[in-house]
Amino acid sequence: MKTKLLFILILVVSAVLYLATLRGIPGNAPGYLIKNNLDQASKPFELSPERGRYILVLSLANNHRFSLSKELAEAAFPDVGYIDGRFYVYFAPGISLLALPFYLIGSLFNLGQVATYAVISVFALLNIVVLFRICRDMFKLSVGPSFLAPLIFAFGSIALSYSNTLYQHHVTAFFITSSLYAVWRYRKEEKFSWLWALYVWVSYGLAIGIDYPNGVLMLPVMIYLAFSTFPLKQTEKKLTISIRLSGIITAIAFVLITALHGYYNYVNFGSPTKLSGSIIGYKQFLQTKEEGTRKGEQLLKKLQSEKNVSGFFQEENIPFSPYTLLISADRGIFLYAPIYILAVLGIFSVLKRLNSELNAILGTIGVHFFLYSSWGDPWGGWAFGPRYMIPSLAVLSIFIGIWLQKYGKHLWAKLLTLILFTYSSAIAFMGAVTTNAVPPKVEADFLKMKYNFLHNYDFLMSGKSSSFVFNEYFSQIMSLQQYYTILFVTAVVTCYILLFIVPMLYKDET
Amino acid sequence: MKLNFSISKHKLSLWKEKLEAIPLDKLIVPLAILFAVIATYLSYTNDRIITYGDAESHLNIAKRIIHSITSGFAQMGGIWLPIPHLMMVPFVYFDTLWRTGLAGSIVSGFSYVISSIFVYRTFYYLTKHKLSSFIAFMVFALNLNVLYMQSTPMTELPLIMFFMVSSYFFIKFIKNPQDAISLIFAALFGFLASLSRYDGWFLVIFEAMIVVLIHFPLKATIEALKKKNLKWLFKNFQTAEGQVVMFATLAFFGILLWLIWGYLILGDPFYFTNSSFSAKSQQQSWLARGELPAYKHILMALGYYAVTVLSNAGILPFLIALLGFITYAFHKADKHRFYIMIMFSVPFVFNVYTMFVGQSVIFIPHITPTTFEWTLFNVRYGIMMIPTVAFFVAFLFMNSKVTGRVVIVTLLLFQLFLYTVGYSRIITLADGSVGLSRAKRPDAEFWIKEHYDYGIVLLDDYARTVSIVRSGFKMQDIIYIGNKPYWEESLVQPDKYARWIIMQKNDTVWRNLLDNPKTQGRLYKYFEKAYTSPEILIFKRKENVK
């Protein structure tokens, strides 16, 4: 009972914090208002990923089609592609489709944009729930660490800055973590366990529609499912391999979703396997226009045939990208959220007792890190921290829970966790209430700008906030610094309670 | 619903026995030959055998030994070491094999097969584990960079062959320091390695050092010194001295021969490093431009070579090998592991050292600044470490449980997939095709191929103005810097021998004939300009002037 109450309390606090940082403005933000107006830093469309996805929502809601009008295409620039006289956003359509009902409902209350962005906050909340269940059920962690792990991910990492805007990272994290949990449940072979397998296949299909690299990122989970579908049992005399037909039959769901995705590609881009990211850019389209009609058409065809999405990932990026993602001054995760050092320690603590679940989790982190270390733009454009790492941060936070389970009873470990969380959370909230438009060092040096959270600090000090709630309701009664402090202290106090008070309530729990 | 399939453990163990009975060692040679033939066929049909500028030079050096206006062993020159060229001689005798580059492919292919055998044998000797040894062979033999390089007339594969054979015998000696025969064989193949590429010099030096270390292990030596155990020290010194002398007499003889050669033929025992044609001299222009990043910068040198190895091995085998290396370092069961690790790191030490002192340069796109004029050059040096990578991958494989082994094999196969989707590229092929190492194909080459009729051609081959093998000239009809006295006389009296003169801006022929007013008059008196481009001029002898 007390766990349930605590669970509800944590969810309520989390929901309030997410609501308090939700980015936006009142109104339904039509396309013509976006360019050179709402696309400035700390405004809801400051960066092209959220702009592009939102514009697709507008196109779906108002024009009932995936291709954009010229006006919307210009507003979504530069992440807009061109094919056969039509314009498309570069992103997979999943996020926009998920957000569409939120927009439609929100627009009834003249809060279309804020409601659209709230879809991600909902997934961020779901991530807290799933991570808690993973810690509690799969790893049998105590209540304190089981709540702390998701809390650290939610409010002690850069994930916070992407829980209030229209990016794919939280949804990806949700599909990965929930599928992981679902496979674990499927392995238990309980009644209706086929539903869990069905969920995994559906998730896999949908996740690809959310962001194409998810097809690779979820592979370790799918391999985990494969091992669960073909379990191997050893007795003294024989070896038995079983085939659980439910794991195979439910794959039909994935086939259907993928076929639907292929149909979408076929209708819009001319081939089931052609992805939106592989069509030529709007910028190149403009260049070809300058070349004159005939020459331009030839160039257009040449560019279309040359562009290939697999080219985005290259081995040649490997030497520098890990540095960028882990320790660089502009994006390094250990600079933005040093609490993840505990995750590394947690991984070391389990290396000698690896099982299928841990292998699947470590595989997910490995694949993720490998993939984005090969990405030509590990900075994620202008962004707050290493945003591509967010799904990995979700999974890594489980290891913080595992570490806390092992060492959390010591005062030094509690203090270390609290200090690291305080630092990490201070930075996380700074990003969440100000801006994600932080340039990478290479660009910042050229533009004479700051290139990490110091840039956000300037925004904080000058009172420039992206928060809908602050701008609409609190900016008249308190400064942004005060607002920030309230949110940040709330998170730190929650962490303190979970570290120091909750274990006292569960003294009987080992 | 669940379907169950059971098998008794007894049956399983029978299968296991049958699997273990497969004579994997007998598959090595046919598989290596098959891989070599397929790779060479692909290179040949895609015109990729002589992509490197150096590839043709190696063929031409071998060809000149037997077919030249001044044929003989002096044509071997004093920069590149002679063994790979001598190995090509029987094959370049046939013009078709010389012009297609297949003469070099045969030598490299042969070296590849022998290297494959010794990669297998070395690992098997150390572990007696057949399957892991086979994995070592497969990692080496299926490396796409190795496969490409073995289809070319480059000198890397002959070196790898001598390196592996010498290492095999030397490891046998390490395991049994009384085995003098193995030490002599190690010295013999070390000798051949030292006359194949300069990396071989480091190999024999390191082997000699290990001979000493074997007799003076660190712990025991410190203890003996502390206890002033002079008897132990003296006894070991005597054994070490004898073995080092025995080893060095043969192993270092190649180095000595090369120094004598340089002195006798070219007047400087260190011609290979002092001459204007040496790699060291070529680095000066990079240094002047500030584009020698590893020069006197040890971290950059380490970084550049590590990334080059990564790129040659493929990211996944490289990472697996790194894990294997760490595992091996802690593998206390093998008390000789540090000597073996030293052996296998010789190419690494050599390349880092030569970059650090400015003797060589590598540009690799992974870390070379994009502001540099070139970002791809000499990356083939990384394939020297592929046997090492194969060794450590196999070691990790051997020490893994079934799941671990499945993961390793899956990752190795996945690396091949990464090549097919363009994630990884065959970096040595890229260097030969689009990097600075590639042979230029100027328009003049196509022109001369079409218009050349007969007669002597004067050109500066060092400047690689046009390809000799592709242009259709006979090697006996070429006058270049190595044809004494024809070369010197032609630079004063161009009409004396030549019917055709090909020159490139600022090359020796250009400077002597075109920039010099005296010879320029003579040039235009006897020759007419037959081809003009901004960089290359081709002159043809006037028919009516005597």
What is residue A510's predicted lDDT score, i.e. its pLDDT? 52
Nearest to B1 among A238, A245, A317 (CB): A245
Candidates A208, A310, A214; CA nearest to A256 is: A208
Percent of chain A whose pLDDT exceeds 70: 94
What is residue B19's predicted lDDT score, i.e. its pLDDT? 85
Categorize the per-residue pLDDT at A309 as very low, low, confident or very high, splitting at 50, 70 and 90: low
CA distance B46 to B201: 35
Cβ contacts below 8 Å, chain A against chain B, sum to: 65
Which residue of chain B comes nearest to A233, CA vs CA? B6
Residue B82: its H or E element? none
Per-residue pLDDT tens over the stretch B516-531: 988 999 999 999 999 9
Peptide bond into A30 cis (omega under 30): no
Inform me whether the pLDDT recorded for A364 exceeds 60: yes
CB A361 within 8 A of CB A101: no
Peptide bond into B485 cis (omega under 30): yes
Sign of CA dihedral B157, B160, B164, B170: positive
CA distance A421 to A411: 15
What is residue A154's predicted lDDT score, i.e. its pLDDT? 97
Instruction: For residue B517, give how far its alpha carbon lies from the nearest alpha carbon of chain A (Å).
Output: 49
CA distance B29 to A425: 61
Candidates B502, B524, B506, B528; CA nearest to B515 is: B506
Per-residue pLDDT tens over the stretch A406-439: 999 999 999 999 999 999 999 999 999 999 999 9
Which residue of chain B comes nearest to A229, CA vs CA? B2
Read off the tokens for B39. Answer: 């790779």
> Cα B225 to the chain's mean position, in Å?
43
Whole-Å CA distances, B304 to A105, A280, A414: 57, 35, 43
Residue B531 per-residue DSSP state:
E
What residues of chain A lie within 8 A of the CB of B6, using their CB?
238-241
> Cα B57 to the chain's mean position, in Å?
14
> Cα B421 to the chain's mean position, in Å?
28
Report CB contact under 8 Å: B421, A243. no
- What does the DSSP assignment read for B364-391? -TTTS-TTSS-S-BSGGGGGGGHHHHHH
- The dihedral region occupied by A64, where left means phi > 0, alpha psi between -120 and 50, and beta the remainder, is left
Per-residue pLDDT tens over the stretch A471-500: 999 999 999 999 999 999 999 999 999 999
Residue B440 per-residue DSSP state:
P
Report CB contact under 8 Å: B315, A241. no
Report CB contact under 8 Å: A317, B1. no
Candidates A327, A435, A406; CA nearest to A373 is: A327
Terminal-residue alpha carbon distance, chain A: 18
- The dihedral region occupied by A463, where left means phi > 0, alpha psi between -120 and 50, and beta the remainder, is left
Inform me whether the pLDDT recorded for A295 exceeds 70: no
CA distance A443 to A382: 9
What residues of chain B lie within 8 A of the CB of A243, using their CB?
2-5
What residues of chain A lie within 8 A of the CB of B424, using their CB?
315
> Cα A180 to the chain's mean position, in Å?
16
What residues of chain B lie within 8 A of the CB of A240, using their CB?
4-7
Categorize the per-residue pLDDT at A293 as very low, low, confident or very high, splitting at 50, 70 and 90: low
**Is residue A252 exposed (0-12), middle (13-18) or buried (19+ Cβ within 10 Å)?**
exposed
* Residue A174: φ, ψ to 5°: -65, -45
Mean of per-residue pLDDT scores for chain A: 91
Candidates A126, A122, A144; CA nearest to A3 is: A144
Per-residue pLDDT tens over the stretch A328-348: 999 999 999 999 999 999 999
A376 inside 8 A of chain B by CB: no
Spell A188-223 as b/e; 16+ CB within 10 A means b: eeeeebbebbbbbbbbbbbbbbbbbbbeebbebbbb
Nearest to B5 among A240, A313, A374 (CB): A240
A320 inside 8 A of chain B by CB: yes
Inform me whether the pLDDT recorded for A298 exceeds 80: no
Q: Which residue has the higher pLDDT, B18 or A36?
A: B18
Integer Rg of chain A from CA: 23
Per-residue pLDDT tens over the stretch A196-242: 999 999 999 999 999 999 999 999 999 999 999 999 888 888 889 99
What is residue A77's predicted lDDT score, i.e. its pLDDT? 82
What is residue B276's predicted lDDT score, i.e. its pLDDT? 79
3-state secondary structure of A193: helix
Categorize the per-residue pLDDT at A303 as very low, low, confident or very high, splitting at 50, 70 and 90: low
What is residue B20's predicted lDDT score, i.e. its pLDDT? 83
Give me the residues paired with residue B527 across strands.
B541
A355 inside 8 A of chain B by CB: no
Which residue of chain A comes nearest to B421, CA vs CA? A310
CA distance A122 to A163: 8
Among A29-43, A311-325, B143-157, B288-302, which range has the highest average pLDDT?
B143-157
CB B98 within 8 A of CB B469: yes
Interface of B with A (CB under 8 A): 1-10, 12, 303, 307, 310-311, 314-315, 365-367, 418, 421-425
Give me the residues paired with residue B528 across strands.
B540
* Local confidence pLDDT in tens for the 546 residues of chain B: 788 888 888 888 899 888 888 888 899 999 999 999 999 999 999 999 999 999 999 999 999 999 999 999 999 988 999 999 999 999 999 999 999 999 999 999 999 999 999 999 999 999 999 999 999 999 999 999 999 999 999 999 999 999 999 999 999 999 999 999 999 999 999 999 999 999 999 999 999 999 999 999 888 899 999 988 889 999 999 999 999 999 999 999 999 999 999 999 888 999 988 887 787 777 888 888 888 999 999 999 999 999 999 999 999 999 999 999 999 999 999 889 999 999 999 999 999 999 999 989 999 998 998 889 899 999 999 999 999 999 999 999 999 988 889 999 999 999 999 999 889 999 999 999 999 999 988 999 999 999 999 999 999 988 889 999 999 999 999 999 999 899 999 999 999 999 999 999 999 999 999 999 889 999 999 999 999 999 999 999 998 776
What is residue B9's predicted lDDT score, i.e. its pLDDT? 86
Categorize the per-residue pLDDT at A302 as very low, low, confident or very high, splitting at 50, 70 and 90: low
**Within 13 A of B17's CA, how many CA atoms are on the CB side?**
6
Report CB contact under 8 Å: A239, B12. yes
CA distance B228 to B223: 8
Give me the residues paired with residue B537 across strands.
B503, B532
- Give A101's contacts (C-beta < 8 A, 6+ positions apart): none
A242 inside 8 A of chain B by CB: yes
**Is residue B411 exposed (0-12), middle (13-18) or buried (19+ Cβ within 10 Å)?**
middle
